[in-house]
Amino acid sequence: MRMKKYQLYILPILLALATSCSTKPVDTTPVDYSTVIPNGNFLGPFTLIHKNSTTSKLDTSSAIITVAFSSSASTYSVAGDTSKIQAASHGTYTADGTLIKFTDATVTKTTSANTPKKHLSGTFFYTYDGTNLVIYGSSDTLSFNYKLQKY
């Protein structure tokens, strides 16, 4: 009788150990990243939000821009309303499904980071579903948001 009592307690422990030690099959299906790398022509608003470091007030500006991506050449160019807050530019880019890095060929060593017109340059987060491309990032006083749609 006493042995049956111990078996009742030991059996669930052994089952728990057995299931925790079992190995799950590893998914070896290759991931197709071609669907997350932007390619083609995009149109939409670029929104720049500036936080005044003295008053903490937010200033928001936006412009409708176009961005053309060529994933085969890893190049991009920015056009559209580049009169006030977005600079017309071009360069190369890399993307991995989460981060997109732009190297703007129009930015020189003398280009100030605080120019009134922002260059699409640097590393940003992005999401892309094959049609909608959102590129976003921020610094201590600026927030960048591109909501583009493939056309």
C-alpha span between 87 and 35 (Å, rounded): 28
Structure tokens, 68:
């053309």
- The pLDDT averaged over each successive group of 10 residues in the chain (151 residues) is 58 61 64 73 95 87 96 96 94 94 92 83 94 91 93 94
Chosen CATH of 36-150 out of 3.30.110, 2.40.128, 1.10.3470, 2.30.30? 2.40.128
Q: What are the boundaries of each domain within the chain?
A: 36-150
Mean pLDDT across the chain, nearest whole number? 85
Q: Which residues contact 18 (CB under 8 A, 6 or more apart)?
A: none
User: pTM to 2 decimals?
Assistant: 0.73
C-alpha span between 86 and 47 (Å, rounded): 9
